[in-house]
Structure 1
């Protein structure tokens, strides 16, 4: 019995000594993960800095586009859908006898849009 106890004690001491010299896999994984997160943060910081530089360049280019060279270019009107309430307001103001300029001021629509609304209402028979 004493021999088994001494054998187990020696075996445990040997295992304890081996554990000090063996590399810990978990700590290696933690170090790799930490290095990866640092790399990710650095890349993210660089991307944000590049985006900021690009935005500043776009603002500078935007300021140049408002110079006199481009003042002759008219923007292309984009047709947007007009709300039914706004159509009814335009028709009501037209029926009251207001001019197209007055209707345009009150409804924030262009004259062409107002004319289109009035003509569509005539076609539909309102």
Structure 2
């Protein structure tokens, strides 16, 4: 009987002590939840910023990047292409070629891609690509 009383006292003491001890698993669970929420918010913020940057690059044809090409050359390239397009098809709405796309075509040519491969890789028309290659091929 002494043994059963000792076991009961130990059990009661363990139950009483459990009420006063902090539950560390709940704290860890709460910290994990806060961390996941903050990561989710940060991810959404980065996605929004990336979307704004992508829209700026895709929607603004006058987007300027400092480049080794002189400003006169850039403007003359776009103006001469617009004139050529206007003479060929005056009813079409002609937009200037983005400098990034001009550089992309020149770099693809330097890497040895053919005209047909460049047409597939670039959003520019075949005439625009031909014009860039004939007028800008030697400019770096």
Structure 2 length as normaliser, TM-score?
Answer: 0.46
Q: How many residues align?
A: 79
Please give the alpha-carbon distance, in whole angstroms, between the structure 2 residues aligned to 1:23 and 1:72.
77
Flag the structure with more relative contact order, 1 or 2, with Cα contacts below 8 A and sequence separation at least 6.
2
Structure 2 segments unaligned to the other structure (5+ residues)? 64-74, 82-96, 117-129, 131-140
Which residue of structure 1 aligns with residue 14 of structure 2? 15
| 1:25 Cα deviation after fit | 1.8
Rg comparison, structure with higher value: 1
Runs (4 or more) in structure 1 with deviation over 4 Å come to 73-77
Q: Deviations over 1:28-85 (max 9, x none)?
A: 21111111111111100000000011112112322x36xxx433379565242589xx
- TM-score (norm. length: structure 1): 0.51
Partner in structure 2 of residue 80 of structure 1: 113
RMSD: 2.8
Deviation string, structure 1 residues 81-104 (Cα, Å, up to 9, x no partner): 589xxxxxxxxxxxxxxxxxxxxx
| Structure-1 residue corresponding to 2:37 | 38
Return 5+ residue gaps in structure 1 as ranges. Answer: 84-109, 111-126
How has the CA–CA distance of structure 1 residues 42 and 82 changed in structure 2, closer, same or farther, with 3 Å as cutoff? closer
